[in-house]
Structures are given as C-alpha cells and as structure tokens.
Amino acid sequence: MVIGLTGTNGAGKTTLAEHLKQRGFSFLSLSDEIRRELKREQRPDTRENLIETGNRLRRDFGLAVLAERTAARVLEDRNYVIDSIRHPQEIEALRRLPHFHLLHLDAPIEQRYERARARQDTRTPASFERFAELESKELGGSSPDAQNLEACARLADAKLLNAGTREDFLAQADAQISAWLRGQGRPGWDEYFMRIARIVALRSNCIKRKVAAIIVKDKRIISTGYNGTPRGVVNCNEGGCPRCNGLAVSGQNLDACLCSHGEENAIVQAAYHGIAIKDATLYSTFSPCLQCTKMIINAGIREVVYNAHYPLHGAALGLLQAAGVTLRQVELEKED
C-alpha cells in the first residue's frame, strides 16, 4: 500500500510519516527530488527555494515530474508513505501505483505556525505574516505549474484535522490507514502465477522476445521455462541464434531459429527432472505457437492460461480447443 500525504505546513505530515516508518512503511518525499536539484545547483534548501525550484521543475519537465521520479523508486512488495504532494497532476501520477490512498492533513494556521517555530527549523519564516504569505502561494498559485494544495485537498480519499493532541491525531490516522490495509485484498491465483511467469521471462537470453511459462498443479509451481538457445549452446544474446541476432522480421524464417520456446522448456525441464505434468495448468506470458501447442496436448496439460497473443496464434488456439484443452486469457494490463 502507498499512503500519500498532502496538506498545509505544520499540519503533522512529518509526524505521521515518522509514525508510519516505525511501523514498517518505507518513506519517500517529493521534496527530496527538489532537494537533489538544489544540491546539484549548490543552493540552500530554504522554503522559498523549495517552492521556486519545484514550480520550475514542473514547468520545465511536466506537472507530474516530481511524482513520476518518486514513483520510479516504489517496489511492489513494500508499504510506502509519500510526503510533499502539492499538485493535482502529482496525485494523478501516483494513482497509477497499486493501492494508493491520499490523506489530507490540516490544522488551524496559528497552531501550525507555532509548531513550525517549535521545530527550530531555519526554513521557518521569522514572522506569522511571512508564514501566511508563503502559505497563500502553496494553496493555489496563479500559474498552472505552481503548488495547489487546495486542489490536492479536494482529491483526497480522507481528511484529518490535527487540532488536538499528538496521540489523538495518530489514533485517527491509524484507524483510517488500518481500514485501507484491511480492505486492499491480494492478487488472485491467475494474477499471482502470471506475474511469476513475467519474472521468469526476465531470465530469457533471447534478444527478439522474452517469453516464459510456468506449469502449476494443485496451486504449486512444478516447472518453469523461458525461451533461449538449448542447453550447452551459446546464449542467444551472445550470438548463439543467427536468426534472432539478425533481427529477422517477425513470423519469417522461423525454421532457422535456434531458440527453444518458454512452454517447450517448461515441459522439457519437467521431463528432465522426472516430474509428472499430466492434468496440470500452464501459464504463459504469450499464447503458444503451433509447435508448443502440440507438445502441450501430448504432455496431458489440461489448461493453458496466457497473457498476450502470440502473433501466429490462430491455428494453435484452434488445435488446443479441438483437443479439449481449456484455454483462457488473463490480461494483467489492457493493451492499447
């Protein structure tokens, strides 16, 4: 899960982020992308410089640049808290992450100013008037690339008012975040196995197309395979297959290809290790070709689940259906 934090200065974003870090959340901040830019320019990270540089980066590289750079650091198997979200386009970019929720924090401005002063941060303005002036720029600037906290607040999934004790504030936050965590669910079996197949595909040494298949029985993986040259032969990406290394046109000169397919290797590996695959299910990142289809049928595999269509799939899919093999497509992402 990814918890995004937006809100006014001194509303408790840092307090909540530290609280979540102690509970296993990894921390990222969009402001850190600005600080990297200021460090490169050898400029201090004052509040004025952070606002100005953030606006400039959004103007020069797109309104979502800070969020896009931050999202690239997110790993799927961790919980994250992301701070310093200040523009609606940043929210739009972060919503592409799985299980993203935006929490908006606020408190009376007088209370927030006193909290900011108590932090003894050199970036805190010396006067309440200057604090309020800078905040007006953050709430909604006149330029499209300026910070717009008011628009971010309207896009929040939940809002918390941090006007009481620290304990009350964190208790409210815990209740909301716990509800999100309990409701997020987890991948179904098809998505689970297909995503594993995609990871297996990363081991492929074919330079034309990376494909993998896994064979599953009783919800247990019993064999995996990815495409590449046969055992003991120079890898495709090292020059082992002249057709692939010649960047042949897709679908042409297939008889000259030396690479074994992912489905083929999954079946052969099971045979090599003496593993029975009769009545198993095969998950493949692409639908099988005609040659692999014949192997699937003769191996006794009862079901084929694939993610994307192989370019030459018509006859193969028809043969699978004729042989009584169950065929299903599970798309992890819709193709354009």
Q: Is the predicted pLDDT of residue 153 greater than 80, yes or no?
A: yes
Whether 8 and 152 have beta carbons less than 8 Å apart is answered as no
pTM of the model: 0.67
Q: What is the predicted pLDDT for the residue at 176?
A: 96
Q: Do the beta carbons of residue 30 and residue 152 sit within 8 Å?
A: no
Return the active site residues.
Answer: 263
Binning pLDDT at 50, 70 and 90, where does residue 242 land? Answer: confident
248/278 Cα distance (integer angstroms): 35
CB 215 within 8 A of CB 303: no
278-333 pLDDT tens trace: 999 999 999 999 999 999 999 999 999 999 987 766 788 889 989 999 999 998 87
- For 146-172, what is the mean pLDDT? 91
Who contacts 53 (Cβ-Cβ below 8 Å, separation ≥6)? 34, 37, 38, 41, 43
User: Do 263 and 288 meet the contact criterion of CB atoms below 8 Å apart?
Assistant: yes
Q: Kindly report, residue by residue over 55-70, the tens digit of the pLDDT.
A: 899 889 998 999 999 9
Higher pLDDT among residues 321 and 135, named by residue = 321
Mean pLDDT of the chain: 89
More confident site: 122 or 197? 197
Q: Which residue has the higher pLDDT, 146 or 235?
A: 235
